[in-house]
Amino acid sequence: MNIENGSYHFRGGVNALDVVKDYGCPLYIYDSAVIKQKYDQLVNAFDGVDLKVHYACKALTNINVLRYIKNLGAGLDAVSIQEVKLALKAGFAADQIMYTPNCVGINEILEAVELRVKINIDNISILEQFGQLRPDYPVCIRVNPHIMAGANAKTSVGHIDSKFGISVYQLPLVQRIVKATNMKVNGLHMHTGSGIMDAEVFLNGAEILFRATEGFEELEFLDFGSGFKVSYKEGDIETDIEELGKKISIRFKDFCEEYGRKLTLVFEPGKFLVSEAGYFLVKTNVVKQTTSTIFAGVDSGLNHLIRPMFYDAHHEIVNVTNPEGKSRIYNVVGYICETDTFGINRRISEISEGDILAFKNAGAYCWMMSSNYNSRYRPAEVMILDGKAHLIRRRERIEDILNNQVEINSLNKESNLLSAPEMKSGKDGGLLGGLKKIKETISL
């Protein structure tokens, strides 16, 4: 999203304020051209290797995004059986899907087997159970390389105290189980964390994974996970993808010669592909001046974008309505009944009540981590595709919140001034009619 002729536009000339006019706020918007740019950048960084990109879909699973990424040529990494089913619905072939669960029961894994997707096992107990039940079905082993890496302790997953993966020191036990059950291991996998800046971290992990292949003679692929650092603000450091691709390509080709045959190299980016494609647009409800601070209070909160409160994540905030105004310092806060802060002491073009603000880097782990806290509706989603804005998820309504609740009839007496069926059917004017009914009851 860039300023053109004094206003913010997405790729293809789509005006941001026009999208808000059509679909309201709060609103998530994803620019498909940015996703393609990031995918092409990653694929083109590697040379002379059989590279496969698996999109880590937990970052963003809207089915339209899944289909778009599938059409680019990617496979998919799923961490739950539900993500597997979404991927199949989106059109991914079963053999394009890697199922990488954590702390799930054997029954969920067996369900994934019935769907014929690739299986990634990350603990000894499940490996033993799987070997006894389905030794005929090939599996990948997730290895914990004991590397502390990543920008946040909450997203560092390859260290010795992490719940993820089987320790490299337990591989002799893994091999005994494989031999005893006559299992077939077709891949090894590792993932160290998110926000990794240095290509050397991946190279160090690669050497550990290469050594771990000893004793596994029927491997078809090695999966290096992901965790590429993306830029969250001007001047921010990010992973040098071109350097990474060059160095990994050279070393991987050498390893394949040592191993005795060519293997497929897999990476599974999530945030890297979709983070910078996403924007979260909100409306300023109030501008509140205190003795020490100016607050810009918006029509959203941690229920829609929890990363600043949960991870202390930084999201750049711009004034879409007044992009070139004089800068002032604001604390941008939400409407949730808690300390609900998006940004402190942010320099933003002067904000007036009613102005539209945009949070950048809102494509990954943003809508996906949203909730109905305070019984607020989750936002709509829009995708910019071929120069047009497409609604890809409608904004929630009260019936979405009530949909799976089951009412106890004996509790539903005269106090029921406005029932869910009335709101859903639009009886007596729907919500407005219901409010009128409440006022009439009070006046009596």
pLDDT at residue 294 tops 80: yes
Mean pLDDT for 11-18 is 95
What confidence tier does 41 reach under pLDDT thresholds 50, 70, 90? very high
What the block records as the tokens of 396 is 């929630």
pLDDT at residue 243 tops 60: yes
Domain 31-274 bears CATH identifier 1.10.1740.10? no
Domain ranges of the chain: 2-11+275-393, 31-274, 398-443
**Pick from 33, 1, 31: nearest CA to 17:** 1
Q: Could you tell me how far CA 80 lies from the centroid of its own chain? A: 13
289 has which bridge partners?
Answer: 294
| Helix or strand holding residue 371 (H, E) | none
What the block records as the tokens of 94 is 């079963």
Known catalytic residues?
A: 337
Q: Hey, how many other C-beta atoms are within 10 angstroms of the C-beta on 233?
A: 10
Q: Is the peptide bond preceding residue 26 cis, with omega within 30 degrees of 0?
A: yes
| CA dihedral of 79, 394, 71, 2, whole degrees rounded to 10 | -110
At 319 the three-state DSSP class reads strand
Tell me the C-alpha distance between 118 and 360, whole Å.
Answer: 34
Per-chain mean pLDDT for the chain: 90
User: Which amino acid is residue 253, in one-letter code?
Assistant: K
pLDDT in tens, 408-441: 999 987 655 555 555 555 445 555 555 555 555 5
Pick the CATH number of 2-11+275-393 from 3.40.190.290, 2.40.37.10, 3.40.50.300, 3.40.50.1580: 2.40.37.10
What confidence tier does 195 reach under pLDDT thresholds 50, 70, 90? low
- The reported pLDDT for the residue numbered 201 is 81
Q: What is the largest CA-CA distance in the chain?
A: 87
121 has which bridge partners?
Answer: 141
Tell me the C-alpha distance between 156 and 144, whole Å.
Answer: 11
Q: Long-range contact list for 399-405, CB < 8 A, 24+ apart? A: 399/423, 399/424, 401/372, 401/375, 401/377
Mean pLDDT for 323-352 is 96
Tell me the C-alpha distance between 321 and 17, whole Å.
Answer: 7
| Helix or strand holding residue 338 (H, E) | none
Tell me the C-alpha distance between 400 and 414, whole Å.
Answer: 24
The reported pTM is: 0.89
- Identify the residue whose tokens are 């996703």: 35
What confidence tier does 154 reach under pLDDT thresholds 50, 70, 90? very low
- The reported pLDDT for the residue numbered 417 is 52
Tell me the C-alpha distance between 75 and 69, whole Å.
Answer: 8
- The reported pLDDT for the residue numbered 399 is 96
Tell me the C-alpha distance between 370 and 302, whole Å.
Answer: 8
Tell me the C-alpha distance between 243 and 262, whole Å.
Answer: 22
What the block records as the tokens of 379 is 């936002």
pLDDT in tens, 142-152: 998 876 444 44
> How many residues are given for the chain?
444
3-state secondary structure 177-195: HHHHHCCCEEEEECCCECC
- Which residue has better confidence, 208 or 97? 97
- The reported pLDDT for the residue numbered 420 is 53
Give per-residue burial for 375-410: e unless 16+ CB within 10 Å, then b: ebbbbbbbbbbeeebeebbebbebeeeeeeeeeeee
pLDDT in tens, 114-129: 999 999 999 999 999 9
User: Which amino acid is residue 64, in one-letter code?
Assistant: N
- The reported pLDDT for the residue numbered 226 is 86
pLDDT at residue 297 tops 50: yes
* Cβ–Cβ < 8 Å for 82, 106: no
